Amino acid sequence: MVENLAFSAILSNKKQYNPDFYNWNRVKVRYCDGSSFTGDVQAVNPATNLHFRGARVWLAVMQELLAKGMRNAEDAVLSGCSAGGLASLMHCDSFRALLPMGTKVKCLSDAGFFLNTRDVSGAQYIKSYFKDVVALHGSAKNLPRTCTSRLTPAMCFFPQYVARQIRTPVFILNAAYDSWQIKNILAPRAADPYGKWQSCQLDIKNCQPNQLKVMQDFRLEFLSAVIGLGRSSSRGMFIDSCYTHCQTETQTSWFWQDSPILNRTTIAKAVGDWVYDRKLFQKIDCPYPCNPTCHHRVFTPQDDPPI
């Protein structure tokens, strides 16, 4: 865990890089619990001294921020990317409940809409993985009751079963070909023992036609899950067709001369318009490779090791 973290893009304090939020109070909550701040296990592992208590960490951080002045906020946005994007959905309504009724609260999930789907071998790898996470962390009691009253706790780790019941306004920002999901949900190593997907996962331009077909089907399933949340006049949406993961904390994807655009709109503009109620943005990109403004990630084999 590095001592210093860059406050860039959505966290930048410079107007030219972050025109709508540069003068906000900005807080980055350290993520170290492995369960999107849902864990709450009293027992401590004696061999490793590991504490699975992410929910307690979350509450302690929120209480400290409220005491430091967050309780006086006129506007508050809970955002995060990847596991933090999942956390921003899981804790959205409880975050709203911590603040006064007069505070305008919204939640932004960047690359946190993990899809419950089968991998290329036909196995339900990510469902099994999330089931293990929930069991290890004792997460069930901290998952949204609106979901756990209907489905198993493991299913309630997937946003497609949770987001529809969130009462607080939510913005879903995601790549339809999310690089983390392609690597770890669609074609995890367990489903690809001979590494046939490795070159494709490192650079989408290396993908074979049959692999692109599988990824196009993944996109359709992803879009079905997002659209399946139903229509909402408060839910923002920016689903681009880039091969990437996390776009709010990287300056070039958030707000730059050549940032990805949908409907002639950058991510920063779409999110800012939504937060300030200037304009509701709900757009889905055309399929890859149609968007020339995309910044497709290119990885090395050492990058982003699979789960």
> Which of the residues are catalytic?
82, 178, 245
The answer to whether the beta carbons of residues 84 and 248 sit under 8 Å apart is: no
DSSP one-letter code for 30:
P
Q: Which amino acid is at 215?
A: M
- Tracing tokens 């990317």 back to the chain, one arrives at 81
**Cα separation, 84 vs 87, whole angstroms:** 5
Which of 228, 244, 279 has its CA nearest to residue 81?
244
Q: Which residues of 122-140 are buried (b: 16+ CB within 10 A; e: fewer)?
A: eeebbbebbbebbeebbbb
| CA–CA gap between residue 287 and residue 263 (Å, rounded) | 14
